[in-house]
Amino acid sequence: MLHAKYGHVASFWYGKHYYVSLASPQAWKDHIKAFDRPVELFEFMRPLNGDSSLQTTNGKEGKTRRKIYDVSFQHDALQNYYVYIKGMANDVAKKLSSVPPGEHITLQQYMSVFVSKALGRVFYGAYFEDEQKVTELHRNYETILEALNQKVSDSCPANDEKFNSALNVWRGLIQEAIQHRRDNPPLREEDRNFLDVLIDFCATDEMLLSDASTFFIGGYHTTMYMLVWAIYFLARDMKIQDKVYEEVIEILGKERDVDFMNQSRLRYLKRVMDETIRCSVLAPMAARVNYEEDMKVVDYIIPKGSGVIHALGVVLMDETIWPEPERFDPDRFLPEKVAERHKLAFSPFGFAGKRICPGYRVSYAAGAQLLSTLCRKFKFHLVGGHSIQRKYGFVTLPSEEVRIMIEKRE
Ligand code: HEM
Phi, psi at residue 302, to the nearest 5°? -95, 120
Task: Give the residue, out of 61, 272, 360, with the most ligand 1 atoms within 8 A of its beta carbon, to mutate for a pocket test.
Answer: 360
C-alpha distance across the termini of the chain, in Å: 56
Instruction: Give the atom of ligand 1 at the shortest distance from the alpha carbon of 123.
Output: 30
Query: Residue 159 Cα, ligand 1 centroid: separation in angstroms?
Result: 28
Q: In what order do the strands lie in the sheet with 403-408?
A: 105-106, 403-408, 378-382
- Given a contact cutoff of 8 angstroms between Cβ atoms, the answer to whether 183 and 176 are in contact is no
Tell me how long the chain is.
410
pLDDT band for 22, please (50, 70, 90 cuts).
low
Instruction: Give the atom of ligand 1 at the shortest distance from the alpha carbon of 226.
Output: 1
Query: Residue 349 Cα, ligand 1 centroid: separation in angstroms?
Result: 6
> Which sign does the torsion angle of CA 15, 18, 24, 25 carry?
negative
**pLDDT tens string 247-265:** 999 999 998 999 988 999 9
Query: Residue 40 Cα, ligand 1 centroid: separation in angstroms?
Result: 18
Distance CA 275, CA 230 (A): 9
**pLDDT tens string 295-348:** 887 777 888 888 888 888 888 998 989 999 999 999 999 999 999 998 888 999
Average pLDDT over residues 125-144: 92
What percent of the chain shows pLDDT beyond 70? 91
The pLDDT value recorded for residue 18 is: 54
Domains and CATH numbers, the chain: 1-31+284-347 (no CATH), 32-283+348-408 (1.10.630.10)
Phi, psi at residue 221, to the nearest 5°? -70, -35
What single-letter amino acid sits at 360? Y
Distance CA 234, CA 248 (A): 15
Query: Residue 51 Cα, ligand 1 centroid: separation in angstroms?
Result: 19
Which residues, 6 or more positions from 26, have their beta carbon under 8 angstroms from its beta carbon?
5, 298
**pLDDT tens string 347-358:** 999 987 789 999
Average pLDDT over residues 40-54: 89
The 3-state DSSP class for residue 323 equals coil
pLDDT band for 76, please (50, 70, 90 cuts).
confident
Between 161 and 113, the more confident residue is 113
The pLDDT value recorded for residue 275 is: 98
> What does the mean pLDDT of the chain come to?
88
Residue nearest to atom 33 of ligand 1 (CA): 218
Residue nearest to atom 11 of ligand 1 (CA): 357
Instruction: Give the atom of ligand 1 at the shortest distance from the alpha carbon of 361.
Output: 27
The pLDDT value recorded for residue 206 is: 96
Taking the CA atoms of residue 258, residue 259, residue 262 and residue 263 in that order, the dihedral angle to the nearest 10 degrees is 70
pLDDT band for 28, please (50, 70, 90 cuts).
confident
Burial of 313 (0-12, 13-18, 19+ CB in 10 A): buried
Q: Which helix (H) or strand (E) holds 289?
A: strand 286-289
The pLDDT value recorded for residue 312 is: 87
**pLDDT tens string 183-230:** 999 998 888 999 999 999 999 999 999 999 999 999 999 999 999 999
Between 22 and 283, the more confident residue is 283
The pLDDT value recorded for residue 157 is: 56
Taking the CA atoms of residue 193, residue 196, residue 197 and residue 200 in that order, the dihedral angle to the nearest 10 degrees is -170
Average pLDDT over residues 82-89: 91
Ligand 1 site: residues with CB under 6 angstroms?
Answer: 54-55, 66, 73, 214-215, 218-219, 222-223, 226, 277, 282-283, 286, 312, 348-350, 352, 355-360, 362-363
**pLDDT tens string 380-406:** 999 986 789 999 888 999 999 999 999
Distance CA 89, CA 100 (A): 19
Instruction: Give the atom of ligand 1 at the shortest distance from the alpha carbon of 362.
Output: 27
